[in-house]
């Protein structure tokens, strides 16, 4: 069994004790981290390597940043989402490990939608779809995990009306998420769970965590070769209840060994 976690840590410097504690306790084989908010030179590589992980990091000062941690070697690392050579935001990292092609995704938020941020989000999603289609052509098991900043359906948010004008629920965002799935990917959590109001993010404002006012925006998409091996996909709410917590909590999927 190979366990793969995804967690938007919302500043690896601010959450490092929480992150190290969770990695030690949960001990996923692979961990995809988003929103590092640091450059690669300041990534806490020594502390994480001490827990048995290899690290691939794509950093950016104060914003964004993604990392793949793995207990197996990381090979053929790809930094950045192809399709726009002028895009300098650190939002995409891909590598082969445990016989899987794994991507760590921090998809643009897109708010406010009346600014340039929303067209950037939509264009980014179009690039992701094109690249994801190419990954399927390889016929290898592919895992696309991360913070997608998309609420797929109204059942994935505590108050759909409150988010009607949000970039995370716009028809353009949802349509592109569906199109990505329709290329041949399986949304791991929904493949195994049909209950509504299961969340991976709770805002710091307005008692979001205390009132369970959450959103489900962190997802795993699996190629057919990976989906055939899907054993479980669960949201670990524990870290969100800790002191100095990220506003996201980890989601973990487990894949059976290849036949």
Averaged over successive runs of 10 residues, the pLDDT of the chain (259 residues) comes to 98 96 97 97 96 97 96 97 94 98 97 95 97 93 98 96 95 97 97 96 93 97 97 97 96 92
Superfamily for the 2-255 domain = Endonuclease/exonuclease/phosphatase (3.60.10.10)
**C-alpha dihedral sign at 142, 146, 150, 154:** positive
Q: Which residues of 233-258 are buried (b: 16+ CB within 10 A; e: fewer)?
A: bebbbebbeeeebbbbbbbbbbbeee
Question: CA-CA distance, 147 to 36, in Å (whole number)?
Answer: 12
pLDDT attached to residue 195: 93
CA 204 to chain centre: 19
Question: CA-CA distance, 87 to 213, in Å (whole number)?
Answer: 33
Q: Is the pTM of this model over 0.85?
A: yes
Question: CA-CA distance, 248 to 201, in Å (whole number)?
Answer: 4
- Asked whether the beta carbons of 80 and 74 are under 8 A apart, the reply is no
Phi and psi of 17, rounded to 5°?
-60, -40
Question: CA-CA distance, 249 to 240, in Å (whole number)?
Answer: 5
- In this structure, the strands spanning 30-34 and 66-70 are antiparallel
- Asked whether the beta carbons of 3 and 31 are under 8 A apart, the reply is no
Task: Please state, as a whole number, how many other Cβ atoms lie within 10 Å of the Cβ of residue 65.
Answer: 28
Q: Which of 16, 25, 29 lies closest to 252, judged by CA? A: 29
Domain boundaries in the chain? 2-255
H or E stretch at 257 = none
**In the chain, what is the straight-line distance between the N-terminal and C-terminal CA atoms, in Å?**
11
DSSP, res 157: B
Strand, coil or helix: what is 69? strand
Question: CA-CA distance, 107 to 90, in Å (whole number)?
Answer: 10
Quick check: bond before 112 cis, omega within 30?
yes
């Amino acid at each position: 069994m190979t366990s793969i976690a995804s967690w938007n840590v919302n500043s690896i410097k601010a959450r490092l004790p929480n992150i190290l504690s969770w990695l030690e306790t949960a001990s996923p084989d692979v961990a995809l981290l988003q929103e590092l908010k640091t450059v690669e030179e300041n990534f806490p590589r020594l502390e994480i390597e001490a827990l048995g992980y290899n690290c691939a990091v794509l950093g950016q000062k104060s914003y964004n940043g993604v990392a793949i941690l793995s207990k197996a070697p990381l090979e053929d690392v790809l930094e950045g989402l192809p399709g726009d050579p002028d895009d300098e935001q650190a939002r995409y990292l891909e590598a082969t490990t445990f016989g899987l092609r794994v991507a760590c995704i921090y998809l643009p938020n897109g708010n406010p939608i009346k600014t340039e941020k929303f067209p950037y989000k939509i264009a980014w999603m179009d690039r992701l779809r094109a690249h994801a289609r190419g990954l399927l052509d390889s016929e290898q098991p592919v895992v696309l995990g991360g913070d997608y900043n998309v609420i797929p359906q109204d059942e994935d948010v505590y108050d759909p009306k409150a988010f009607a004008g949000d970039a995370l629920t716009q028809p353009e965002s949802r349509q592109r998420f569906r199109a990505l799935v329709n290329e041949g990917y399986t949304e791991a959590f929904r493949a195994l769970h049909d209950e509504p109001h299961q969340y991976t993010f709770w805002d710091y404002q307005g008692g979001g965590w205390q009132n369970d006012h959450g959103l489900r925006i962190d997802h795993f998409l699996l190629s057919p070769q990976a989906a055939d091996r899907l054993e479980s996909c669960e949201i670990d709410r524990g870290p969100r209840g800790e002191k100095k917590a990220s506003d996201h909590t980890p989601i973990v999927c487990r894949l059976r060994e290849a036949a």
